[in-house]
């Protein structure tokens, strides 16, 4: 459907990936250790999720928790992780790199995007720590990424809606803007209407405990999917 709002759900287990698909998710962001914002998933996790869900799966490419200024060795590890994600038939990679000055690391981002050729690349919420958010949109577009996951530089996408709208306008179709952080069935429609985006990202941690059972998770995904229908 041309007007369909795409729903991406972040998970860290095969069971939640299956539940997200059943609940109406259109795409999975697959991570290890969501408690620290998500790390590169293991080979085994990628393999099992790919075997159990049919919707697209994007693998987080993040070698460690903490900031987004990476050493040469860490960037090399990220390139290897992208190769593994391709081998495991992931549809996309999710990554983000900044310089010491808190700008998008254009050269290294382009290097990783080139390594992910044939896969979509999302520049993740590292961008929300950028010193110049709108200029960062230009850099990510030049690097060749497909989309930017952002809360508009705020704690939640709802708070950053005005900036998200400005980022979408700045992107001008060169790169898609994907709002995330605190998006739920209660606020998703308003965020979409205020920002003009056509994709949303959610982990649902603001409305349920991390150890909630799979059924509860699936029901919350379904609530969010239903809230997006017809927008």
Q: Mean of the per-residue pLDDT values for the chain?
A: 96
What pLDDT, in 10s, does the model give residues 112-166?
Answer: 999 999 999 999 999 999 989 999 999 999 999 999 999 999 999 999 999 999 9
| Domain over 6-228 is classified CATH 3.20.20.380 | yes
pLDDT of residue 1: 43
Under the banding of pLDDT at 50, 70 and 90, the label for residue 18 is: very high
Identify whether the C-beta of residue 184 lies closer than 8 Å to the C-beta of residue 150: no
């Amino acid at each position: 459907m041309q007007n369909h709002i795409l729903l991406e759900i972040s998970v860290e287990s095969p069971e939640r990936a299956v539940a997200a698909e059943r609940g109406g998710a259109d795409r999975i962001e697959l991570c290890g250790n969501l408690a620290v914002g998500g790390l590169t998933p293991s080979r085994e996790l990628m393999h099992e999720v790919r075997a159990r869900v049919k919707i697209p799966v994007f693998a987080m490419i993040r070698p460690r928790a903490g900031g987004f200024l990476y050493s040469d060795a860490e960037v090399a590890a990220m390139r290897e992780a992208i190769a593994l994600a391709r081998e495991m038939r992931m549809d996309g990679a999710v990554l983000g790199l900044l310089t010491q000055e808190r700008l998008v690391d254009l050269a290294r981002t382009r290097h990783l995007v080139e390594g992910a050729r044939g896969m979509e690349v999302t520049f993740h919420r590292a961008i929300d720590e950028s010193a110049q958010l709108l200029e960062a949109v230009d850099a990510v577009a030049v690097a060749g990424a497909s989309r930017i996951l952002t809360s508009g530089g705020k704690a939640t996408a709802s708070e950053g809606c005005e900036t998200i709208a400005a980022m979408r306008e700045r992107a001008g179709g060169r790169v898609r803007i994907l709002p995330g952080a605190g998006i739920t069935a209660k606020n998703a429609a308003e965020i979409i209407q205020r920002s003009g985006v056509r994709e949303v990202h959610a982990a649902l941690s603001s409305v349920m405990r991390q150890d909630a059972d799979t059924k509860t998770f699936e029901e919350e995904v379904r609530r969010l999917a239903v809230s997006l229908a017809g927008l």
